[in-house]
Chains A and B, each alone.
Chain A
Amino acid sequence: MTEPLTVGFVLDGLVALLLVGLVFRLLRTRHLFEAIMLYVAYGLTLALAWVRLGAPDIALAEAALGAGVTGALFLNAWHRMAVRAGADERLPMESDP
């Protein structure tokens, strides 16, 4: 059974491809910051997918929790590692006067 090629179907295909592509890229990259940024982008794309799947409740939760809070948690971890690695001395969280 073949579906007629509608705008919505093409959009769904693009979102699904984008999801898989973002995951592939963020799991293959060697730079942690890039991976975290791609993770946030993935979370927001996933929110788009939830809307297309007729689940606006989950879209809202995904955008706020999945992309927002989890992204902040990863960035927080990145920052602590960056302070340790000496790459981000401008914002030391542990030794501010």
Chain B
Amino acid sequence: MSGPTDPQANNATGAASETGTGVDHAHVRPLLEDDGSRDGPAILTWMVGLLLVPAGVLLALGLRGAADSRDPRIPDLIAEHLPETGVSNPVTGVLLNFRGYDTLLEVAVLVAAMVAVWSLDRGQRVFGLPAGRARDEPVLAAVLRLAVPTAFLTAVYLTWLGSSEPAGAFQAGALLAGAGVLLTVARVMRPPTAAALPVRIIAAGGVAGFVVVGIAVLPFTGAFLAYPEGWAYPLILGLEAALAVAVAVILVELFVDVPSIPAPDSTLDTVDPTGDPLGRALAPDATPPDPGAP
């Protein structure tokens, strides 16, 4: 395994011999190691700490009052009306029925964050990472073979379980995203950035599903997102499934679309030379076209 022709051994020794050569560590050191020289004078640090003492006292006083200010009837109300939500897990009932608006806007925030992170690189990149081969590392391959199918199965189970036990779409989506990130960093999967249409459709699917369901129930119940009797359980389950997939895709995109830091003398080699598939790509230094120009 560790013969002289082993490519991994060569890699390792090559990397080891490169370490400490040619890199200006003093120059880039603060990126990874903050020596505190830019933090301002120590007296300022202590003064801010001193200022936070009265803030802490105020918070403590507020905490004492908080116990009395909460309406004690709310848990009873939730427990009383839980059968109407179609689910038996009170947290899922709160998230997808009582406070459905909250969850709708929460997913909208996720979509907005995905688009915002993607746009930080001026939307130039089509793929977050260059094409790579799956690393031929036996341990990594074995972990992937075990972990990824397990994560997928567990995510489906968590989505379904969310109606009755502590679980739900967001936990399942996070688990799916974990599997996706694992596949991405192992170079098995090469996820496109948020520029790709399928990514956008799936990511928007969570919000769209909520809005469609919310409007579809209007003629029956007369209120946005008020599920008709008997339909709450299937509707919530369907929404949870769409949410889990959307959350997973968005979280992977948040990981993939984060801008990289090019070296001063290099260009981003992940810029697609043919431009944005949507035809709206900007050359790295081009100014945006004036929409009002003839």
Contacts and interface: CB of A to CB of B under 8 A. Distances in A.
Interface string B156-175: 00100000001110110011
A93 B34 CA distance: 24
B90 to A, nearest CB: 9
Interface string A55-77: 01101110011001100110011
Interface stretch (B59-67, B223-231, B252-260, B272-280): B252-260
Contact of B261 (A31, A32, A83, A95): A83
B181 interface: yes
A94 B32 contact: no
B174 A31 contact: no
A93 B18 CA distance: 17
Interface in B127-175: 129-130, 132, 158, 166-168, 170-171, 174-175
Given A30-B35, A69-B251, A86 B170 contact: no
A84 interface: yes
Residue among A32, A33, A73, A87 with the most chain B CB within 10 A?
A87
Contacts of B236: none
Contacts of A89: 15, 18-19, 23
Nearest to A84: B261
B71 interface: no
Interface residues of A, number: 32
Nearest to A34: B33
Nearest to B162: A57
Contact of A94 (B19, B31, B35, B268): B268
Interface string B27-48: 0110111111000000000000
Contact of A84 (B31, B34, B36): B31
Nearest to B35: A30
Given A80-B258, A94-B130, A94-B262, A69 B178 contact: yes
A90 to B, nearest CB: 4
B174 A30 contact: no
B31 to A, nearest CB: 4
A61 B174 contact: yes
Contacts of B286: none
Contacts of A68: 174, 178
Contact of B171 (A61, A76, A96): A61
B269 interface: yes
A77 B34 CA distance: 15
Nearest to A64: B174
Given A72-B181, A83-B261, A86-B25, A32 B34 contact: yes
Interface of A: 30-33, 56-57, 59-61, 64-65, 68-69, 72-73, 76-78, 80-87, 89-90, 93-96
Interface of B: 11, 15, 18-19, 22-25, 28-29, 31-36, 89, 91, 129-130, 132, 158, 166-168, 170-171, 174-175, 177-178, 181, 251, 254-255, 258, 260-263, 266, 268-270
